[in-house]
Every structure is written in structure tokens, then in C-alpha cells.
């Protein structure tokens, strides 16, 4: 399976500050190891449990049967049901932390899946992002895009929006009137219910991609009661029909659980190696 890089972002622990850290994978790893004198044994993440599924009254927090928190087997079954003729592509990557000239690298972990489908006048693609084995490699992010190639296949705006509200409830924020060429609806769920935004506080940006280096931003979102985010963007053509729409789901609560456990396990491996050598961890040199 192909590998995909994790973006390099600084990470911090709440108890002890570790800075700077560099998380990377794929081709980025090769260049760093060329200057690194040692490669530590691969780290195998161990399961520490999983967060409870979302329970939101009168809301189905899923996209085509794909729900946050699902493991790989559940996701594959849901994809096979929703896209029976589609080939599923899976991507794995490694996570690397450089400390005192030593690279601590994880074994390859599932990071992404994609599936595509086509029908009469439609094209559809779904991209899924996963957490780490610490919490069962849960589904964290979903992005689904549907394009309508013909007016006959394209739905009207009002019925489509009505279906979305029936599924997710009244949105936290809506941008654009029914006749506007570009429209967006955003749902923010926290502490088991929909949360307001767009009045006193702006709505957050919703992204379906996740990286361990952005752990602090996921923590901040959960503190702001932004556990689960869903955004639907509509492109409307003449006659009030939808040319395309994109649904994005992001599970910040699941990301915090998955990445906090992974960070703790990697830092523990770094500390254990330092203890064996009788030295304290030093600031990494790049």
C-alpha cells in the first residue's frame, strides 16, 4: 500500500513540554534518516480503549452509513454496502519522532481509504481518515463529494436541504439563501447536542484530514464544545438545481483520544531508551 506523509507540526504534552518535535512519514523520513546516526526499534502502538459512540438525540451522525469511531472492518463493510462496485484504496504511513539523534518510528498504520462510484449522470468520491491503533484505528474524518453531470440527475436545493435537516437537525449556521450559487450548512455538536455558532462566535473550519501534530488544535476544539463537526457545501446551477455538493465530517473528540494515547506511548519509548543509557532526553537536532 502507498504511504502518505504526516505534516510536521510542533506537539506539546500537558504535563511535560517536549519541544521541538517532528512527526513525518514516507519520503520525508528518508532524508531525515540520512543525517540520523541511529534508528530505534519500531514502536507498536497498543490499544488503550476507545471513546464512547456519539449519542445525539434525533440525529444520525454518519455519512452514507459511515460513522465516526468505526474500525477498519466496519468501514469496509459500510463501503461495500454503499459502493458495491467500487474499488477501495487504502493508505498506510509511519509516524516518526527524532530525539537526540535517534529516530523513533511507528510500524505502518492505516491513515486513509478512498472509494469512487458513478451512476446515471453522477460521479461520487468518498475519502476517509483514520486515527491510530491506540483507540482501534477509528474513523475520524469523512469527505464525500457528489457531482451531477446532467440537470435531469441533479436535485433541487430545497428538497436536498430538507433531507439534511431531517438527518442532522437544524444547522448551527447557514450561509447563502436558497437561490445563492454557493451555500454552506454547518452543524456543531458538543456534549451530546447541537451548539450555536455564527453569531457571537464564528463557526469553525471543518476538515476531514487529521494529523497527530495538530493535537493541540483538537484539544482546543473539544474544550469549545466542538466535539463533532459536519459541513455541507452546495454549488447551485441555474434553475435551482444542485450542480455538486460536498459533505465533510470531523471527529475532534476521537482525535484527542487517539493521539493523546499515541503521544504518551512514543514519549514513554523515548524516556525508556534514555533511562537505559543513563541520560536525560535532549532537544532533537535537525
In this structure, of 92-106, 233-247, 255-269, the range with the lowest mean pLDDT score is 92-106
Which residue from 4, 9, 44 is spatially nearest to 129, judged by alpha carbons? 4
pLDDT digits (tens, 9 = 90+) for 167-224: 999 999 999 887 889 999 999 999 999 999 865 567 888 999 999 999 999 999 999 9
With contact defined as beta carbons under 8 Å apart, do 153 and 120 qualify? yes
Average pLDDT, the chain: 83
Length of the chain in terms of residues written:
286
- In terms of C-beta density within 10 A (0-12 exposed, 13-18 middle, 19 or more buried), how is residue 58 classed? exposed
Whether the per-residue pLDDT at 33 is higher than 80: the answer is no
Amino acid at each position: 500500500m502507498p504511504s502518505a506523509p504526516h505534516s510536521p507540526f510542533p506537539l506539546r504534552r500537558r504535563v511535560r513540554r517536549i519541544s521541538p518535535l517532528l512527526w513525518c512519514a514516507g519520503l520525508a523520513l528518508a532524508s531525515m534518516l540520512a543525517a540520523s546516526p541511529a534508528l530505534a526499534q519500531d514502536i507498536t502502538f497498543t490499544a488503550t480503549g476507545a471513546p464512547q459512540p456519539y449519542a445525539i438525540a434525533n440525529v444520525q451522525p454518519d455519512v452514507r452509513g459511515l460513522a465516526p469511531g468505526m474500525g477498519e472492518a466496519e468501514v469496509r463493510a459500510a463501503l461495500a454496502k454503499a459502493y458495491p462496485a467500487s474499488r477501495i484504496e487504502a493508505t498506510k504511513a509511519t509516524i516518526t519522532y527524532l530525539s537526540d539523534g535517534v529516530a523513533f518510528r511507528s510500524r505502518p498504520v492505516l491513515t486513509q481509504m478512498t472509494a469512487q462510484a458513478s451512476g446515471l449522470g453522477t460521479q461520487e468520491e468518498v475519502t476517509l481518515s483514520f486515527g491510530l491503533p491506540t483507540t482501534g484505528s477509528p474513523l475520524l474524518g469523512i469527505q464525500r463529494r457528489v457531482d451531477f453531470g446532467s440537470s435531469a440527475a441533479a436535485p433541487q436545493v430545497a428538497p436536498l436541504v430538507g433531507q439534511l435537516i431531517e438527518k442532522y437537525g437544524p444547522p448551527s449556521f447557514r450561509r447563502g439563501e436558497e437561490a445563492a450559487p454557493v451555500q454552506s450548512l454547518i452543524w456543531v455538536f458538543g456534549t451530546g447536542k447541537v451548539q450555536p455558532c455564527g453569531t457571537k462566535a464564528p463557526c469553525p473550519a471543518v476538515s476531514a484530514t487529521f494529523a497527530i501534530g495538530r493535537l493541540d488544535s483538537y484539544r482546543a476544539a473539544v474544550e469549545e464544545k466542538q466535539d463533532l463537526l459536519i459541513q455541507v457545501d452546495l454549488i447551485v446551477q441555474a434553475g435551482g438545481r444542485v450542480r455538486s455538493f460536498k459533505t465533510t465530517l470531523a471527529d475532534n473528540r476521537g482525535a484527542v483520544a487517539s493521539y493523546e494515547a499515541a503521544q504518551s506511548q512514543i514519549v514513554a519509548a523515548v524516556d525508556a531508551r534514555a533511562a537505559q543509557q543513563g541520560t536525560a532526553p535532549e532537544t532533537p537536532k535537525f
